Amino acid sequence: MTSIVTAAQVSKNFGAYQDAAVRDPVIITKNGRPRTVLMAYEDFVRLSKRDRRVQLTSELTASEIAEVERSEMAPGHEHLDDELAPHATD
């Protein structure tokens, strides 16, 4: 279960909160508002790998758009074509 503690509490007993953060993230507040999170290194690495870069389609060049249009889905992902079909509620 995620703990919510003040920065002062963490300062007074950092070791205990560091141990707790290995099991579940610890949310640290400042002036009553969440400010930082103490978490296990493995969780940080896992979340960091999920970072994605986003680019607006309006920023794509003509050659990049052409490349996307020429691209094909890898075999085994045909079920994703259903995502492109118009829905009855649209």
pLDDT at 89: 57
pLDDT at 81: 81
What are residue 73's phi and psi, to 5 degrees?
A: -70, 140
* Residues 43, 25 contacting (CB under 8 angstroms): yes
Hey, what amino acid is at 35? R
Number of H helices, E strands in the chain: 4, 3
pLDDT at 67: 94
pLDDT at 72: 87
CATH fold of 1-71 reads YefM-like fold (3.40.1620)
Taking only the tens of pLDDT, the chain with its 90 residues reads 889 999 999 999 999 999 999 999 999 999 999 999 999 999 999 888 877 777 888 999 999 999 989 998 888 988 888 887 776 555
What is the rounded distance in angstroms from the CA atom of residue 75 to the CA atom of residue 72?
9
What is the rounded distance in angstroms from the CA atom of residue 24 to the CA atom of residue 83?
35
Question: What DSSP line would sit under 2-16, residue for residue?
Answer: -EEEEHHHHHHTHHH
